[in-house]
Amino acid sequence: MIKFSRYILVATGILVASMVLPSLYWTIFEKVPRSPGVYYSCMNDDFIIVDGGSRLSPDGKAYTSDEYEQLLPLMFFRQLMADGTMPDSIRGVKMETPSISRASSFYRYTPRKLDSPVITLWPMLESESGKVNLAMPDDYFRIEKRMEFIVARTNKINEEKSQLFTEALTAEGFVFPADIIAGLPTTRKSHDEGYFITDSEGTLFHVKMVKGQPYVARIETPEKLDIVYIEAVDLRSREYYCYIVTRDQGIYVLMDEVYDLQRLPIDGFNPSQHSFRLNSDLFNKCITVYGENWYEAIAIDDMYDVVGTHGEKWESLYERSDGKIFASIFPFEIRMRDDNSAFVRFFFKPSPGYRWIIINLIALIVAVVLIMRRGWPLKSNIPDLLITAVTGIYGLVATQFFPNKFSKVKPPSKT
Amino acid sequence: MFKSVIYKEWLKIRLIVLIALGLSLLALINIFLKVRHDILFVDAANYWYSFLFRGRAYFMVLKFLPFVIGLAIAIAQYFPETVNKRIKLTFHLPVSENGVLIRMHAFGALVLVVLLALVLGLFVAGSAIFFPSNIIDASLITMLPWFLGGLATYFLVALVLLEPVWLFRGLYSVIAAGFVTFFFTSASIGAFKPVLLPLALITLLLSCVVLFSGYRFRKGEM
Amino acid sequence: MYAIECKNLTHYYGKKLVYENMSFNVEEGKILGLLGKNGTGKSTTINILNGFLQPFAGECLIYGENTQLLTPETKRRIGFLIEGHVQYTFMNIHQIEKFYSGFYPNWNSAPYWELMSKLKVTPKQKISTMSCGQRSQVALGLILAQDPDLLILDDFSMGLDPGYRRLFIDYMREYAKAEHKTVFVTSHIIQDMERLIDDVMIMDYNKILAQQPIEQFMNTFRQFNITLASPEREIDLNGIAVNIEKVKDKLEFYTYSSEDEVKGYLNSKGVEYTSFEEKKMSLEDAFIGLTRKY
């Protein structure tokens, strides 16, 4: 029992050391990782890469600030108009502020969005109130065994409204409970489109409230999609309702009104590892998929046909000097937080390669020397030595902080 | 015989337990008076909104309460045993040394658990007046690490206090501080859900580490 | 039959040797006093006896059980007074009696309350607010109520004024002899100890200097005060003396030998003296003579 209690302490020590020491290392030595932004110019039909302070063409030519703004007139139209350098028309389309801004949008997906805690209470706004401004309702809904509206002021269920919506959902073949519920629970948007909801069988529904009545549409997807993430968007152009990420590595947009699913021309998208940015303007969409040390940018026109691609790859963390040194000191690290998750977990990250073996060996030798200097027999310290050999610095720290005193000690030699 | 052990432990901690109970009740009353006030002033739907979509938790007052209670009970229980090495008296009682320490520790932990469970229970009861189960569940997931942290604090402070050598008290404190910090990592509401079970398991395992200090004491570490 | 048997004890603190191969026994029914200056290993011995210290080598047995592994039954037979009369000072005299009584089936609170009635303390007064002498009486009363067969008293005289010390010693002697108790007592204050103990064990750094019945020790260990005729002469008398303190021409000569043996020895060495007298010693004098003044 007492030996057991010591090993619990040693394990706790290793856990703490493997979280604190690496975080200390990174705080001091970590280099800023690259995170370039990619845009598609409608002026020269080519990509522009913004990396740190520099703006580059795909073949590495640097643009000045003015050149950059002029290459992206749809992004910088306010500046260009102020300068008087905004073209009157591009590709035969007359340049007008409302049409430019209505077509511009920027969305970003990160794996963190997929792995986030959600509280499944949502406000159902009135989509067609006839008022200019949207208003927050006084109740929130949840979809468990049925759809329920809970009035905040009383904390009681509005039975009538709940039944009304539950029946509407059931009528469309909704199988309770809901899985994903995606909407924009805010009044700061151009219009309300309610929620996009998958039921327990993965079928997609569009649910909103129109003049106090439920509007439920079952969306027939061409093939069985395994939807993992939906993000509702607020496009004044009303081009599409939401983008959808599926487990089969596809990104789709759900077209407005017609509920057609349009697959973006991207393959091999891993929603739990990769992020993407979706940058739209009057003529093109630029979709950039990011991995840890690469990006792939694809430009499409308004027919969703590919007009250009560009990609880059750079040194990954463990190819950089700070990562290499880390991997030769620490055999692994444990983190509570991870860039790809909003949850707290014990993220175990083994260091690639075996360069840490040298430090582990040194730790082992130090442990042996310390044990022998104290006159403890090596034999009864074998578990400690094994722990040190495997966990390196962490094990050395932990076994020394909680010393093994269970072996009979030899008296010191007389001097 | 163990009634006597419990009697002694109770004499040591009863004042702290009463103060902790009072503080907890005050904290809870404060929370719910404030919730009631804010719901009247900003409208309940807005108040819910700030919790659901802005991550504004109404129970932050409780964050370090379990830590403080765990720390206080551990000190009240074990500090008097370390003055003049009084723990010798306990180990000299005609019962097994580990047995008596386990019972002392189990009693302290039980009192702490009952106290913290009471706080949680009252919190749930109060929250149920104003909020639906979804909000209460998320609140509990957010608060449970703090309550487990209070328990872990109790176990680790006992370890540190009973350790006879100052150097090792220092080293244990470093590990204990590092470990307890995990429980109080700032995170969004509900973010601790995946680690609740592992944290609870580790906390449970830590319940017996005080035996290690007790053993070192009995083997004459100076 | 021995209550305590310690065999070949060896212990170090770090690299500092406390003692090596030390053995001693305490007979049942006897009162043994372990005397020694500070730092000679008295507390080490007590800690080993109570199982709070594992010696590097050797072992101590109490009633035949290794002190590292005492069973509750044996611990019940041992009353332990910690140096400084340490007790749970957050309790009052009623609470502490209630606490301890739960552990000992033969608990007899009469002697405890008898002692407590003599103290001028209020029933609700915490032990922490009592004087050192009052605390000693609480600690003593608890041990008496426990009714153990073996009493281990570590430096009981520490912090006691003479009246309390005398009270403690006389009470303990009478009690031990009447109830046939074995007592192991340490002290660095030697005064009054001869009133209490049957056997004496005197420790010096790393070794035991004397271990015998107190009467035998007091009768055979002698001090002679000698005035030398030629004090400037270097003399080596260590063959027979245990300790010699020389100030100018005065010699304090401590030995286990008789007057005749000493005189014969001086003559054989050709040492001349102008006066020679035996000085009657108290235990304290003998202790200092044996262990030297510094």
Residue A344 phi, psi dihedral angles, 5° rounding: -95, 125
* Predicted interface score ipTM higher than 0.90: yes
Answer whether A119 sits within 8 Å of B175, measured CB to CB.
Answer: no
Residue among A411, A412, A415 whose CB faces C57 most closely:
A411
pLDDT of residue A159: 97
Angle at B170 between CA B164 and CA B175, to 5 degrees: 115
Q: What is the pLDDT of residues C63-83, one digit of tens each?
A: 999 998 899 999 999 999 988
Pairwise CB contact (< 8 Å): B4 & C98? yes
* Residues of chain B scoring pLDDT < 50: none
Interface of A with B in 306-345 (CB under 8 A): 336-337, 342-345
Residues near A114 by beta carbon (within 8 Å), at least 6 away in sequence: A228, A229, A245, A271, A272
Residues facing residue A197 across a β-bridge: A181, A205
Nearest chain B residue to A337 by CA distance is B187
Closest chain C C-alpha to A7 CA, distance in angstroms: 22
C110 band by pLDDT with thresholds 50, 70 and 90: very high
* Best of B83, B89, B95 to mutate (most C CBs within 10 Å, chain C): B89
Decide if B95 and C101 are in contact by the 8 Å CB cutoff.
Answer: no
pTM of the model: 0.91
Closest partner residue to A8 (CB to CB) among B43, B52, B209 is B209
Residue of B nearest to C89 (CA): B80
**C52 vs B contacts (CB less than 8 Å):** 88, 91, 217-218, 220
DSSP letter assigned to residue A402: S
CA–CA gap between residue C275 and residue C263 (Å, rounded): 11
To the nearest whole Å, the CA of B28 is away from the closest chain C CA by 32
pLDDT digits (tens, 9 = 90+) for C179-200: 999 999 988 778 778 889 999 9
Partners of residue A334 in chain B, C-beta under 8 Å: none
Query: What was the pLDDT predicted at B64?
Result: 96
What residues in B contact C85, CB-CB < 8 Å? none
CA atoms of A90 and A336, how far apart (whole Å): 50
pLDDT of residue A408: 54
- Minimal Cα–Cα distance from C89 to chain B, Å? 9
CA distance B50 to chain A (A): 11
Domains contained in chain C, CATH given: 2-217 (3.40.50.300), 221-291 (3.30.70.980)
What phi, psi does C48 have (nearest 5°)?
-65, -40
Q: List, in order, residues 6 or more apart from A247 with CB less than 8 Å away.
A: A226, A227, A228, A271
The answer to whether A224 and A136 are in contact (CB under 8 A) is no
Sign of CA pseudo-dihedral C138, C140, C143, C144: negative
Q: Give the pLDDT score at C6.
A: 92
Q: What is the pLDDT of residue A407?
A: 52
Contacts for A380-388 with beta carbons within 8 Å, 24 or more apart?
A380/A404, A380/A406, A380/A407, A381/A407, A383/A7, A384/A10, A387/A10, A387/A14, A388/A360, A388/A363, A388/A364
| The predicted structure's pLDDT at residue A406 | 62
Question: Are A107 and A278 a contacting pair, CB within 8 Å?
Answer: yes
pLDDT(C33) > 60: yes
Touching A (3+ Cβ pairs <8 A), the chains are B, C
Average confidence score pLDDT of chain C: 87
pLDDT at residue number A409: 57
Domain ranges of chain A: 2-31+322-401, 37-100, 106-279
Is B208 within 8 Å of A5 when comparing Cβ atoms? yes
Choosing among A2, A409, A413, A415, which should be mutated to test the C contact, i.e. which has the most C CBs within 10 A?
A409
Instruction: Identify the DSSP state of C219.
Output: H
Instruction: Check residue A224 and give its pLDDT.
Output: 73
Does the beta carbon of A271 lie under 8 angstroms from any beta carbon of chain B?
no
Å between C70 CA and nearest CA of chain B: 9
% of residues, chain C, pLDDT over 70: 99
Specify the pLDDT at position C282. 87
Inter-residue contact A23 to A285 (CB < 8 Å)? no
Long-range contacts of A155-162 (CB under 8 A, 24+ apart): A155/B44, A155/B129, A155/B130, A155/B131, A155/B132
Q: Which residues of A, range 377-406, sit inside 8 Å of B by Cβ?
A: 398, 401-403, 405
Burial B57-88, CB ≥16 within 10 A → b, else e: bbbeebbebbbebbbbbbbbbbebbbebbbbb
Residue numbers of chain A with a pLDDT score lower than 70: 406-415
Task: Kindly state the tokens that stand for B82.
Answer: 């370390």
Q: Over the range A52-71, which residues count as b (16 or more CB within 10 Å of their CB) and which as e?
A: eeebbbbeeeebeeeebbbb
pLDDT value of residue C84: 82
Q: Are B86 and C88 in contact (CB under 8 A)?
A: yes
